[in-house]
Structure 1
Amino acid sequence: MLDFEKEWEFIQQTRPKPTDAQGWNKRSARYDNKDAKNAYAEEFIKKAGILPGESVFDMGCGTGTIDVLLAKQGHSVLAADFSDGMLEKLSENARMHDVHIDAIKMSWEDNWSHFGLADNMVDVAIASRSMAVPRLDEALDKLTRIARRHCCITMTTGTAPYVDARILSAIGVPVSPTKDYLYAFGILAQKGFEPRVDYLYSTRKDTFDSHEEALCDFSRMIDRCGTPLSPEEAALAKDRLSRWLAEHIVENPDAGKPDKKGLPEGILCLDVLRVISWACITWDTQEQNAY
């Protein structure tokens, strides 16, 4: 039988380390919590299978966009994140929308019982785009134990969200697909659950104030594509990227308007929106007939 956890741990060793709490603290400064529509959050809630009036635990909550929508719908929400900056933004978001959300600073690796979390304490446990963990089986177990009825997570279906396979292919850089969701599906199935998979999509509009800014931003795709490149190969790829951007960067008709994070859009953008695909995995927590 394939050991999905062993394979997961192996592939994590080949990847750049996930952003730590300090890194997310810095990123949180980019969010200003303006009341912007979030299509991904709304679609996630539709697919999560949360019933009216159910209590929800959200691990890796970020700024709490999903949690605010849930609270507005009348759900009791407990949210957790390991970033002080993100939790501060969640608190601002809750105040702005006049909802109550309980929040705790906690990581996937922590002992959750030390923070007052207990088995079956909520109806539903969710984790949206926050499963970059060293031990996937342990994280899935923690979510499963805390939820009386149901769990929902989203994970990547192809490359990581910060990598655009279309752009890298256009400049001749091989991409190593990740398909992280397959590991979670396999682990859950081997534990005796019956995970269900659906898909949702988020669009990403990258805007910049200069060609140099765009090149610096997209060059990180080359560094994190999952394919080993020599310094010479990486330099040539960045030259090709610069030429590709010169052909595909246009004036942004929405320059200055708030983006999804509430910050002003730059004066330049790509000529097409980037589309990121996510696998939405749900499972009921009560029946577990491991084999």
Structure 2
Amino acid sequence: MSIAAIDFGRLYRDHLAAANRNPKPAGTWDARAGDMNRKTLKSRYVDEFIGRMDLAGARTLLDVGCGTGTICLPLAERLERVIGLDFSRGMLDALLDNAAALGRNNVEALHLAWEDDWAAVPACDIVVASRSTTVADLEAALHKLNDKAKRRVYLTHLVGGRFVDAAVIEAVGRDLPALPDYIYAVNILHRMGIHPRLDYIEAEGRLSGAAGFDEFAARVGWALGELSAAERERLHAWYLRQPAPIPGVPMRWAFISWDKRPG
């Protein structure tokens, strides 16, 4: 069998189903918008993502899974029009509040999910999807990003398929297969006739900097789902054996980009 005969879109969907994860509903992200707003508007990850972008000739940007504006807001002063798209109304409210606080009147919000009809979404010079592409159908998502881009696309996708250190998952006692990682995106794009550039961004792990066990356990619960009493007890026993502060394992993101070909 040649690589051209492999349906990587289907393999991704099969892998995601085997990982047995339930995606968080929009309401969960609504409730978390305030906390994320305080933490994510400035970070090394943001600097590295934006530092890899080419804005030459660009006037408009679409940020898919924009959250509170982590990527699109720092770029708003350099562009004429910025559109943030997210399925969480709470995130979009925070985006618009942040834009108003910065005096950016060129920022718009679209309340849509990856699975929705994007017919009314404007095509933009640049399309970005930062840490938002672990979706039900990656192939469909990549087509949508490419279709809405006039010049360039930039996205990041998880490396290794885990949002939490494997040692923590083992300590809790869960059997969680890894999620499909970035290599599916690269191979799907290849089947689409796109030859993307590939780089990596290393960012602070989600468990880094927790102030005590309660906060640490809450972060683990957010990533893995609510912990049972027995799981929390096992996690606490593991936590007490670790050096203080807990050395958080960095997360790696694949930075994938391509230029939109004419026609």
TM-score category, normalised to shorter length? 0.7 to 0.9
Partners in 1 of 2:30 and 2:221 — Cα distance? 23
Partners in 2 of 1:111 and 1:276 — Cα distance? 32
Instruction: Output aligned runs, 1:199-218, within 5 Å.
Output: 199-204=200-205, 205-208=208-211, 210-215=212-217, 217-218=219-220
CA, structure 1 residues 244+82, in 2 after alignment: closer, same or farther (shift >3 Å)?
same
Q: Given the alignment, which residue of 72, 77, 94 partners 1:72?
A: 77
Q: Indicate whether 1:101 and 2:107 are aligned.
A: yes
**Count of paired positions:** 254
Partners in 1 of 2:135 and 2:83 — Cα distance? 20
Larger radius of gyration: 1
Q: Indicate whether 1:38 and 2:43 are aligned.
A: yes
Partners in 1 of 2:225 and 2:91 — Cα distance? 26
Partners in 1 of 2:143 and 2:79 — Cα distance? 27
Partners in 1 of 2:174 and 2:40 — Cα distance? 38
**Other structure's SS at 1:192 match:** coil
Q: Given the alignment, which residue of 237, 248, 271 partners 2:242?
A: 248
Tell me which amino acid in the other structure corresponds to 1:286.
Answer: R
- In structure 2, what is the equivalent of residue 266 of structure 1? none
Unaligned runs of 5+ in 1: 225-230, 251-269
Partners in 2 of 1:33 and 1:166 — Cα distance? 28
Task: Quote the offset at 1:108 in angstroms.
Answer: 0.7
Partners in 1 of 2:243 and 2:215 — Cα distance? 12
**TM-score, normalised with respect to structure 1:** 0.77
Task: Quote the offset at 1:3 in angstroms.
Answer: 1.2
Partners in 1 of 2:256 and 2:94 — Cα distance? 27
**Other structure's SS at 2:241 match:** helix
Q: Given the alignment, which residue of 121, 128, 131 partners 1:129?
A: 131
Partners in 2 of 1:34 and 1:167 — Cα distance? 23
- In structure 2, what is the equivalent of residue 279 of structure 1? 254
- In structure 2, what is the equivalent of residue 263 of structure 1? none
CA, structure 1 residues 166+85, in 2 after alignment: closer, same or farther (shift >3 Å)?
same
Tell me which amino acid in the other structure corresponds to 1:87.
Answer: L
Task: Quote the offset at 1:25 in angstroms.
Answer: 0.7
Unaligned runs of 5+ in 2: none
Tell me which amino acid in the other structure corresponds to 2:237.
Answer: R
**Would you say the 8 A contact 1:200–1:278 is kept in 2?**
yes
**Would you say the 8 A contact 2:96–2:108 is kept in 1?**
no
**TM-score, normalised with respect to structure 2:** 0.84
Partners in 2 of 1:222 and 1:32 — Cα distance? 21
